[in-house]
């Protein structure tokens, strides 16, 4: 993990209310892997807290993040021009891991939760994995990066909340509808809490016992395990985990969702 001054290379709209930013790294950084995240300043000293954003794509010299305009921080971030310097701590968190024996991989993503799943596709490309992707968006004009999923997956299903693209349903429902076809060895998911909750209850109802890892989103302060702002409860225990340091990726059985 390093705190670096990164330089904005591109920062432009990707879909309705969503921006894609690529920034250059001033020096090599180890461990920039799928499912990890960055904690990035928004370019304004008045907003001291950095914002946590998943690593979407990365190479030796640059990192790409994609973010939804939500509140003040992400709006300020969208104004950063090419050449702007931002303070960034990276890589943070544990990330996704697919073991060699897990060949068939289901990716279930909702909204901005699809971005860390893009990093999974990139990292495991050429490693003999069969991906089955189920992606949910608010509406047709929020759909993005679908071509990356469809070009690298055996099967990709896009659905929307309003039915303007694909069926009017959720990514989780689309996944369970296609479960027998996908026959996954492992499930990786990221998305809004109701989506992850539906995934957890759907697996329990169907008595499906497969490795299933979810990336959680919690409000964060420090991003490095010191402030406990991001605590969430361990399932069935009176103990907490820190999403920034112990996660953001957890086995779905390990945490209360
Ligand atoms: C590990 C991780 C990865 C994430 N990856 C992405 C991503 O790839 N793309 C993306 O669009 N968003 C992602 N988010 C959510 C993103 O961090 C928030 O949308 C963003 O911080 C909102 O900031 P804001 O100032 O615009 O909103 P405001 O609502 O004004 O934020 C106020 C405060 O709440 C925090 N906050 C608000 N919503 C969230 C949230 N959902 N999660 C965490 N903190 C929040 C902010 O950091 C800030 O401190 C991720 C969150 C986490 C924890
Ligand atoms: S954000 Fe401070 S401990 Fe996680």
Token pair for 25: 């790294």
Q: Is 70 in the pocket of ligand 1 (CB under 6 A)?
A: yes
- Determine the distance separating the centroid of ligand 1 and the alpha carbon of 111, expressed in angstroms: 13
- For a mutational test of ligand 2's pocket, the pick from 37, 230, 248, i.e. the residue with the most ligand atoms closer than 8 A to its C-beta, is 230
Q: What's the CA gap between 67 and 205, in Å, rounded? A: 33
User: Under DSSP, is residue 94 helix (H, G, I), strand (E, B) or coil?
Assistant: coil
pLDDT at 144 over 90: yes
| Distance (Å) from CA 188 to ligand 2 centroid | 23
pLDDT in tens, 26-41: 999 999 999 999 999 9
The predicted pLDDT at position 93 comes to 97
Ligand nearest to the CA of 75: 1
Question: Is residue 47 pLDDT above 90, yes or no?
Answer: no
Could you give all domains of the chain from N- to C-terminal order, each with its CATH number? 2-92 (2.40.30.10), 104-210 (3.40.50.80), 216-257 (2.10.240.10)
Question: Which residues, judged by CB distance below 6 Å to any ligand atom, belong to the binding site of ligand 2?
Answer: 220-223, 225-230, 242, 244-245
Report the length, in residues, of the chain: 257
Which is the closest atom of ligand 2 to the Cα of 226? 3
What sign results for the dihedral spanned by CA atoms 85, 146, 151, 119? positive
**16 CB near ligand 1 (under 6 Å):** no
From 232, 227, 229, select the one nearest 249 (Cα to Cα).
232
The candidate with the shortest Cα–Cα distance to 132, out of 169, 160, 104, is 104
Q: Given the structure tokens 């071509």, which residue do they identify?
A: 147
DSSP H helical ranges for 27-170: 72-77, 114-124, 146-152
Q: How many helices (H) and strands (E) does the chain have?
A: 6, 15
pLDDT per position as a tens digit, 57-97: 999 999 999 999 999 999 999 999 999 999 999 999 999 99
The contacts of residue 199 (CB under 8 Å, 6+ apart) are 108, 172, 175, 187, 189, 212, 214, 252
Nearest-5° Cα angle at 42, 38 to 45: 125
Verify cis geometry, omega within 30 degrees of 0, for the bond prior to 195: no
Instruction: Render pLDDT for 153-199 as a digit per residue (tens, 0 to 9).
Output: 999 999 999 999 999 999 999 999 999 999 999 999 999 999 999 99
Distance from the Cα of residue 3 to its chain's centroid: 21
User: pTM higher than 0.85 for the full model?
Assistant: yes
């Amino acid at each position: 993990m390093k705190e670096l001054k990164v330089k904005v290379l591109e920062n432009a709209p990707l879909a309705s209310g969503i921006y894609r930013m690529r920034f250059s790294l001033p020096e090599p950084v180890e461990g920039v892997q799928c499912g990890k995240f960055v904690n990035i300043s928004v370019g304004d000293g008045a907003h001291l807290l950095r914002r946590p954003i998943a690593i979407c794509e990365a190479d030796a010299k640059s990192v790409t993040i994609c973010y939804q305009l939500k509140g003040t921080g992400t709006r300020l971030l969208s104004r950063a021009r090419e050449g702007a310097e931002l303070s960034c701590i990276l890589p943070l968190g544990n990330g996704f891991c697919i073991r060699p024996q897990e060949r068939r991989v289901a990716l279930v993503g909702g909204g901005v939760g699809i971005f860390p799943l893009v990093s999974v596709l990139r990292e495991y490309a050429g490693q003999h994995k069969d991906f089955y992707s189920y992606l949910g968006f608010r509406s047709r004009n929020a759909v993005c990066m679908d071509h990356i999923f469809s070009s690298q997956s055996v099967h990709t299903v896009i659905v929307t909340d309003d039915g303007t693209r694909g069926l009017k349903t959720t990514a989780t429902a689309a996944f369970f509808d296609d479960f027998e076809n996908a026959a996954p060895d492992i499930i990786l998911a990221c998305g809004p809490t109701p989506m992850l909750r539906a995934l957890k209850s759907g697996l329990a109802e169907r008595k499906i016992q497969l490795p299933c890892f979810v990336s959680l989103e919690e409000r964060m302060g420090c991003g490095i395990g010191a402030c406990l702002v991001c605590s969430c409860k361990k399932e069935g225990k009176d103990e907490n985990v820190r999403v920034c340091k112990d996660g953001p990726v957890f086995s779905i059985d390990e945490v209360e969702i």
